[in-house]
């Protein structure tokens, strides 16, 4: 049970990281970006590309990777930020300029998702890849909890990034402008907020977050070209569950999805195992996310952190 | 030259024109009313001034600079504040953050500006850390006007700031608007449908079906039987 909770927190922290970026895009650019899952994959693979150039350079304090992966991730973030800014310039800005509806923006992003996935398949092929072939041994903690150093790293890294983004949004002038724009874009413009700057910063933050999320996910599992597409479901559910535009909603929504998926499928798996029924419940994880989002939409249509205007 | 000059603008949404050849002026420090029935185009006129919609024909100049076609963020930068009738605050941000956003274009310390608007709207002072979305209707309107003042605009456009407020709050709000004009010497273009608000103004324009029907001093507008009967339900011009 405790093991499942820990797995859920690890998975949830990665979802939360991606969901914060997605909620910013959804509320500021006013569309659901279906290409975000494939940006997650691309970020992870670009990190792999740089890792191939530098090598892992040993390992850091019990982790399965070395400074090479850290450096590769930083460079990947830079490249991916450029990619998302170009993507906006070439695809989304022309659509915004002609005033297309959010539905068409979302459909355009779906097309972009297919393009990105095709690019990933062309460059890296369909086979699975790893950042490190090293096998880690879990450390035993009280209450029967077992954690690998990599898993601890993933959670700490995600939490640090969440805190940094929160500080940016809460304390800096541009962060406040982004929150204002997300709240009421017309009034933000009438307050002197420059739309182009807000959109640029939204892409920078979302691009950086999804790249790190993809890389952290890659540390945990093997890299597959389809992984981001599958990751998109929990991301969307986290954003909708937490209320579109809510920072803490995305964070908590991500955690709830991660923990629910791991615990519910894990508990059913354990039950089946004890009854000697052969089944792989891990493939049903997205079903948990769907059930949760339907329940939330029925019970609290504006999301957990959503408020109805009085 | 006037602070704001509008010459024969025609504007609307898509193919639907709402304003037809509208011309008007606002001078420095003046409080001017735009009155008229619902659907007359009052809000559209303010949206056209602030750059939210682009007039099809005509000119708007602010401080002698043409502003037609300019983005709202650039119009605001010139010293023009706008307080819409609805959705005029950032609900998930605190009162203090809303005021900060009002002074978004200002670099440096905002203490003086906070003190200035707090003096006019003391009710906001003890609610600075409260989320704006949790304020009452009257407090929201006060925050909206205070936010508009944070930039210290030369001209403040107020779109029905008393709409939906309880009668006692209407009087308080009108008193605050008078202070904005008297104490801060800001010019105000006030969209209103109430006689009490019109009395605050030096003069006014009556907008009907997208056209300026009357332009006169407040006294004359209030003395005009047609204006009283049609737009203020025949209320006598009490002092």
Express each pLDDT in B24-62 by its tens digit. 999 999 999 999 888 899 999 999 999 999 999 999 999
Express each pLDDT in A45-66 by its tens digit. 999 999 999 887 778 888 888 8
How far is residue B163's CA from residue B170's CA, in Å, rounded to a whole number?
8
CA proximity to B76, closest of B105, B56, B109, B99? B105
CB contact under 8 A, B151 and A192: yes
How many Å lie between the alpha carbon of A102 and the closest alpha carbon of chain B?
18
pLDDT computed for residue A296 by the predictor: 85
Q: E strands along A116-263, which residues?
A: 139-141, 145-147
Question: Model pTM?
Answer: 0.89
How far is residue B166's CA from residue B137's CA, in Å, rounded to a whole number?
9
Question: Parallel, antiparallel, or unpaired: how do β-strands B203-208 and B211-217 relate?
Answer: antiparallel
Which residues, numbered 87 to 126 in chain B, qualify as contacts with chain A under a Cβ-Cβ cut-off of 8 Å? 87-93, 97, 100-102, 104-105
Q: Is the pLDDT of residue A304 over 80?
A: no
- Put simply, whether B82 touches A (Cβ < 8 Å) is yes
A246: chain B residues, CB-CB within 8 Å: 92
Residue of B nearest to A177 (CA): B101
Confidence of residue B183 (pLDDT cuts 50, 70, 90): confident
Cβ atoms of B132 and B87 closer than 8 Å: no
CB contact under 8 A, B76 and A191: yes
pLDDT computed for residue B15 by the predictor: 87
Interface of A with B (CB under 8 A): 173, 176-177, 179-180, 182-184, 186-195, 245-246, 307, 309-310
CB contact under 8 A, B76 and A190: yes
Lowest mean pLDDT among A18-27, A59-68, A185-194, B81-90: A59-68
Interface probe for A, chosen from B52, B53, B90, B159 (most Cβ of A below 10 Å), is B90
How far is residue B128's CA from residue B100's CA, in Å, rounded to a whole number?
11
A to B CB pairs, distance under 8 Å: 72
Q: Which residue segments constitute the domains of chain B, with CATH numbers given? A: 4-232 (3.40.50.300)
ipTM value: 0.87
- Put simply, whether B169 touches A (Cβ < 8 Å) is no
* Residue % of chain A over a pLDDT of 70: 99
How far is residue A34's CA from residue B199's CA, in Å, rounded to a whole number?
55
| Cβ density class B158-169: b for 16+ within 10 Å, e for less | bbbbbeebeeeb
Lowest mean pLDDT among A110-119, A256-265, B110-119, B227-236: B227-236
Sign of CA dihedral A178, A184, A190, A195: positive
Residue of B nearest to A187 (CA): B88
How far is residue B160's CA from residue B46's CA, in Å, rounded to a whole number?
11
CA proximity to B203, closest of B186, B184, B222, B183? B222
- Put simply, whether B84 touches A (Cβ < 8 Å) is yes
CB contact under 8 A, B73 and A194: yes
CB contact under 8 A, A177 and B77: no
How many Å lie between the alpha carbon of B4 and the closest alpha carbon of chain A?
17
How far is residue B229's CA from residue B37's CA, in Å, rounded to a whole number?
12
- Put simply, whether B13 touches A (Cβ < 8 Å) is no
Express each pLDDT in A200-252 by its tens digit. 999 999 999 999 999 999 998 889 999 999 999 999 999 998 888 899 999 99
CB contact under 8 A, A190 and B92: no
Residue of B nearest to A180 (CA): B90
Confidence of residue A309 (pLDDT cuts 50, 70, 90): very low
Cβ atoms of B119 and B80 closer than 8 Å: no
B76: chain A residues, CB-CB within 8 Å: 190-192
Confidence of residue B239 (pLDDT cuts 50, 70, 90): very low
């Amino acid at each position: 049970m405790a093991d499942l909770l820990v797995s859920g927190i690890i998975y949830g922290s990665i979802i939360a990281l991606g969901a914060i970026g997605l909620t910013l895009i959804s509320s500021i650019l006013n569309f659901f970006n279906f290409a975000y899952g494939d940006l997650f994959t691309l970020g992870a693979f670009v990190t792999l590309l740089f890792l191939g150039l530098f090598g892992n350079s040993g390992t850091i304090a019990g982790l399965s990777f070395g400074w090479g992966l850290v450096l590769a991730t930083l460079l990947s973030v830079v490249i991916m930020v450029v990619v998302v800014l170009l993507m906006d310039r070439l695809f989304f800005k022309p659509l915004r300029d002609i005033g297309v509806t959010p539905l068409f923006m979302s459909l355009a992003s779906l097309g972009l998702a297919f393009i990105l996935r095709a690019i990933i398949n062309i460059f890296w092929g369909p086979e699975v890849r790893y950042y490190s072939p090293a096998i880690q041994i879990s450390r035993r903690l009280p209450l029967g909890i077992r954690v690998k150093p990599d898993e601890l790293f993933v959670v700490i890294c995600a939490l640090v990034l969440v805190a940094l983004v929160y500080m940016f949004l809460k304390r800096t002038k541009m962060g406040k402008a982004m929150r204002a724009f997300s709240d009421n874009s017309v009034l933000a413009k009438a307050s002197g907020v420059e739309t182009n700057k807000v959109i640029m910063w939204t892409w920078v933050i979302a691009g950086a977050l999804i790249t790190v999320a993809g890389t952290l996910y890659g540390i945990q599992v093997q890299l597959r070209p389809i992984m981001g597409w599958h990751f998109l479901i929990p991301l969307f559910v986290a954003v909708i569950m937490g209320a579109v535009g809510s920072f803490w909603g995305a964070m908590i929504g991500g955690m709830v999805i991660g923990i629910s998926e791991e615990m519910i499928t894990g508990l059913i798996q354990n039950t089946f195992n004890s009854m000697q029924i052969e089944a792989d419940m891990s493939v049903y994880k997205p079903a948990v996310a769907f059930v949760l989002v339907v329940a939330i939409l029925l019970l609290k249509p504006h999301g957990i952190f959503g408020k109805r205007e009085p | 030259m006037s602070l704001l000059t509008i010459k024969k603008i025609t504007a609307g949404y898509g193919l639907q024109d709402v304003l037809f050849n509208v011309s008007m002026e606002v001078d420095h420090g003046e409080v001017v009313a735009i009155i008229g029935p619902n659907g007359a185009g009052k809000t559209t006129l303010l949206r056209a001034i602030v750059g939210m919609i682009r007039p099809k024909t005509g000119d708007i100049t602010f401080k002698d600079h043409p502003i037609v076609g300019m983005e709202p963020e650039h119009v605001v930068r010139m010293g023009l504040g706008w307080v819409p009738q609805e959705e005029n605050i950032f609900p998930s941000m605190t009162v203090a953050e809303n005021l900060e956003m009002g002074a978004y274009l200002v670099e440096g310390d905002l203490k003086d500006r906070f003190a200035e608007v707090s003096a006019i709207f003391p009710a906001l002072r003890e609610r600075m850390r409260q989320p704006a979305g949790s304020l009452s209707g009257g407090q929201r309107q006060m925050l909206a006007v205070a936010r508009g003042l944070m930039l210290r605009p030369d001209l403040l456009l107020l779109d029905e700031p008393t709409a939906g407020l309880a009668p006692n709050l209407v009087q308080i709000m009108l008193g605050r608007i008078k202070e904005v004009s008297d104490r801060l010497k800001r010019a105000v273009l006030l969209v209103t449908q109430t006689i009490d608000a019109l009395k605050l103004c030096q003069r006014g324009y009556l907008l009907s079906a997208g056209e300026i029907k009357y332009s006169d001093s407040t006294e004359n507008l209030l003395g005009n039987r047609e204006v009283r009967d049609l737009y203020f339900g025949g209320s006598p011009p009490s002092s």
